[in-house]
């Protein structure tokens, strides 16, 4: 069982439902250049690691030799060269670091020794370079305590080919581990290693694996002795990095970069994410595959606008490249446009380069989405609904729907994945707080679960005389009734009008945007023991603020006064304000947790506009999903004063009192528990535990 914690995830990552793409993302186009982007994982000699787990171009072409190859008779804790003095002939001479290999020793614990020595590489796997079993050059295909002698195992097989059956135009040899379990385990794994006559080595995993702390990689014997300490490549060890734990369909290529006079490879290009609207310099990592310096080596940069697919910037650079090292080359600066997408292509133009392989690499980047940027719009003007209806909006985590109150006392809802087709009217039995002719339902919020809040105005068409907050519950699907609970808002904020409201799940209180026309204040309301927990005056130039939403993962607020969207910090200071001209005025907005974990998409809010088309807008919050992630992998994780500890499938929260909520990978809340008590998961999977404005991701295997 493995627990992995990713700490500091925001609420935005709880919902993997919508991986939002701005409107022009589907128009992204590649330039005509042959663009390849290899990994920059390269060792001191010149071996490179690339894998399809990293999105790189490595074909998964598994060859089953269990019925055609030689069963090597692998026993438990066994190596053919050490245990029986048996070495298997490749059928060709394969370059391996500074030597050539003609024969191999096959070991039962997922390793192959690439020297004609009878060394034992056993059960105690560790990080590379390894010295436990002597200064040995070997490939760790799945180095762990494996047992091919298990009664249900298929065995370990070897076969050499003069013409490789996987499509490679040359000779190869294959070692296949067929239905091999970990010692005492019941997961039977299929994986293999292919040795090519050009020195490349490919690792293929054809089943799910019983991964505990296995090592995958390659090392030269001189890495173990310390003579060449960086002549090794480690793909994964002890689950780090977690995205390199192999599964069915994983292909890893250990590519030998031959030493060629004048040869240079473009390894990586940056930036590869979002950038500010300011001069930016593209850089590239260049590997010199020669043993001599390459003086004044020529490189070229092209930047394309990927929406119009036009070339917008070019630059040339010459640089001195030290032998067998990676050099970072920085090009002249380029100034991007707002809300634009670009592809930068770097390629070798030097005529001395004899090999076109990896002479080109690219990156895609885009400019920041600012707070208030309108990324999408849609209309919910569905007959017989009249225009100019919408007033306030809230998002309910439990149902995955937005709820909108309107100017005539109705409440509607929609699913953001398909707004128009899911749009519907809800049935609400309103609280009889005032006379029916002056009882005016107004702003709306919910606690993420089953309780909704509506403010009610005592309003005669000219003046507001009072304002109450009423609590509602869903008594049956789509039918909401007053619970009998109310709060007289003017008893605590007399004479000020409460506009937008939003629930704070971390403190179980309600934030309200209050204004008397001149002074604007964020009011924190305790709805369980009616009263005010605190106030935050909003400083800066704001008209009459109406909309309010709380950005849970930062504690900041978004407010709108119809003309602009403001991001306000926890002290009431405006830290950003922007609104794209040409769109309808905004009345209220609600944060939408629509990020997939690891996504670099904008964090967005949905806003209702005061226009005749009942427009709903998707706007930027000024943040991106991956800006709110920090990663740690350990059995105890701490963020601020909050810690989560793990014992088996049981998790314990320390450092905070109250409730914690458990979500599944789809973002559905599946449980809640008191932090004073431990919680035990009933099944494996990926879950999120949310507490105290921190979200912990848990992987249960």
pLDDT in tens, 575-590: 888 776 667 888 999 9
Q: What is the 3-state secondary structure (H, E, C) of 142-162?
A: EECCECCCCCCCCEEEEEEEC
SS3 268: strand
Answer with the residue of higher pLDDT: 452 or 632.
452
Helix (H, G, I), strand (E, B) or coil at 25: helix
- Region 404-430 average pLDDT: 90
Domain boundaries, the chain: 27-33+264-366, 47-256, 374-627, 635-700
CATH 2.30.30.40 fits 374-627, yes or no: no
Structural fold of domain 27-33+264-366: Immunoglobulin-like (2.60.40)
523-569 pLDDT per residue, tens: 999 998 999 999 999 987 788 889 999 987 677 899 998 888 999 98
371: tokens are: 């707070």
Q: What is the pLDDT of residues 87-125, one digit of tens each?
A: 999 999 999 998 999 999 999 999 999 977 778 888 889
pLDDT at residue 14, as a whole number: 27
**Which among 672, 650, 674 has a CA at the least distance from the CA of 663?**
672
Task: Categorize the per-residue pLDDT at 242 as very low, low, confident or very high, splitting at 50, 70 and 90.
Answer: confident
Question: What is the Cα–Cα distance from 244 to 54, expressed in whole angstroms?
Answer: 8
pLDDT in tens, 46-89: 898 989 888 788 899 999 999 999 999 999 999 999 988 999 99
The residue with greater pLDDT, 376 or 332, is: 332
pLDDT for res 626: 63
Where residue 507 falls among pLDDT bands split at 50, 70, 90?
A: confident
Indicate the SS3 state at residue 269.
strand
pLDDT tens, position by position, 220-237: 999 988 899 989 999 999
What would the mean pLDDT of 353-363 be, rounded to a whole number? 88
pLDDT digits (tens, 9 = 90+) for 165-221: 999 999 999 999 999 999 988 899 999 999 999 999 999 999 989 998 999 999 999
pLDDT-derived band at 633 (thresholds 50, 70, 90) equals: very low
CATH topology of 27-33+264-366 equal to that of 374-627? no
pLDDT-based confidence at residue 13 (cuts at 50, 70, 90)? very low
CB 348 within 8 A of CB 299: yes
In 3-state terms, what secondary structure has residue 250? strand
Closest of 212, 157, 219, 205 to residue 183, by C-alpha: 212
Tens digits of residue pLDDT in 263-275: 999 988 999 777 8
Quote the pLDDT of residue 582.
Answer: 67
Mean of all residue pLDDT scores within the chain:
84
The pLDDT assigned to 628 comes to: 53
DSSP per-residue codes, 397-410: TTTTEEEEEETTS-
């Amino acid at each position: 069982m493995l627990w992995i914690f990713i700490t500091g995830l925001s609420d935005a990552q709880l919902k993997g439902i919508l991986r939002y793409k701005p409107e022009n993302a589907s128009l992204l186009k590649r330039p005509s250049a042959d663009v390849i982007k290899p990994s920059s994982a390269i060792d001191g000699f010149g071996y490179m690691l690339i894998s399809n787990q990293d999105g790189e171009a490595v074909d998964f072409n598994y060859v089953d030799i269990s019925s055609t190859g030689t069963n090597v008779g692998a026993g438990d804790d066994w190596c053919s060269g050490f245990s029986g003095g048996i070495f298997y002939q490749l059928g060709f001479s394969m370059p391996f670091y500074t030597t050539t290999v003609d024969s191999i020793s096959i070991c039962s614990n997922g390793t192959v020794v690439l020297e004609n020595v009878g060394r034992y590489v056993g059960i105690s796997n560790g990080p590379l370079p390894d010295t436990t079993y002597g200064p040995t050059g070997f490939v760790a295909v799945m180095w762990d305590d494996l047992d091919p002698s298990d009664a249900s195992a298929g065995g370990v097989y070897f076969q050499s080919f003069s013409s490789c059956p996987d499509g490679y135009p040359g000779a190869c040899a294959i070692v296949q581990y067929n239905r091999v379990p970990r010692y005492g385990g019941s997961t039977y794994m299929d994986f293999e290693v292919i040795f090519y006559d050009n020195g490349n080595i490919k690792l293929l995993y054809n089943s799910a694996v019983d991964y505990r702390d296995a090592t995958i990689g390659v090392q030269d014997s001189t890495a173990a002795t310390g003579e060449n300490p960086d002549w090794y490549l480690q793909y994964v060890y002890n689950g780090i990095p977690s995205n390199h734990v192999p599964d069915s369909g994983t292909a890893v290529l250990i590519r030998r970069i031959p030493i060629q006079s004048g040869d240079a490879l473009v390894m990586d290009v940056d930036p590869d994410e979002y950038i500010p609207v300011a001069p930016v310099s593209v850089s590239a990592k260049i590997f010199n595959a020669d043993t001599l310096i390459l003086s004044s080596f020529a490189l070229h940069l092209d930047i394309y606008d990927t929406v119009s697919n036009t070339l917008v910037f070019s630059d040339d650079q010459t640089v001195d490249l030290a032998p067998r090292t990676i050099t970072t080359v920085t090009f002249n600066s380029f100034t991007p446009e707002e809300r634009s997408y670009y592809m930068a292509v770097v390629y070798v133009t030097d005529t001395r380069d004899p090999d076109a392989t990896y002479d080109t690499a690219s990156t895609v980047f885009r400019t920041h989405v600012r707070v208030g940027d309108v990324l999408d719009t849609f209309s919910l003007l569905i007959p017989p609904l009249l225009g100019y209806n919408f007033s306030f909006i809230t998002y309910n985590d439990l149902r995955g729907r937005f709820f909108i109150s309107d100017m005539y006392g109705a409440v509607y809802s929609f699913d953001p994945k398909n707004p128009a087709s899911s749009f519907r009217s809800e049935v609400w039995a309103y609280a009889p707080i005032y006379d029916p002719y002056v009882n005016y339902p107004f702003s709306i919020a919910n606690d993420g679960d089953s309780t909704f809040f509506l403010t009610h105005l005592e309003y005669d068409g000219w003046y507001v005389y009072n304002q109450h907050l009423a609590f509602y519950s869903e008594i049956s699907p789509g039918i909401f009734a007053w619970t009998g609970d109310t709060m007289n808002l003017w008893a605590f904020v007399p004479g000020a009008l409460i506009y937008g409201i939003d629930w704070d799940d971390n403190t179980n209180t309600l934030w309200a945007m209050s204004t008397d026309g001149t002074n604007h204040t964020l009011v924190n309301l305790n709805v369980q023991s009616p009263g005010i927990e605190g106030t935050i005056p909003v400083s800066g130039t704001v008209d009459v603020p109406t909309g309010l939403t709380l950005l849970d993962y930062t504690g900041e607020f978004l407010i709108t006064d119809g003309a602009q969207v403001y991001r306000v910090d926890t002290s009431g200071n405006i830290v950003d304000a922007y609104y794209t001209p040409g769109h309808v005025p905004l009345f209220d907005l609600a944060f939408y947790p629509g990020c997939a974990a690891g996504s670099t998409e904008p964090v967005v809010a949905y806003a209702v506009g005061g226009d005749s088309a009942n427009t709903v807008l998707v706007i930027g919050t000024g943040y991106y999903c991956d800006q709110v992630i920090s990663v740690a992998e350990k059995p105890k994780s701490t963020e601020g004063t909050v810690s989560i500890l793990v014992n088996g499938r049981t998790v314990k929260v320390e450092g905070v009192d109250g409730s914690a909520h458990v979500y599944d990978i789809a973002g559905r809340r599946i449980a809640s528990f008191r932090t004073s008590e431990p919680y035990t998961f009933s099944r494996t999977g990926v879950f999120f535990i949310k507490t105290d404005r921190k979200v912990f991701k848990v992987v249960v295997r």
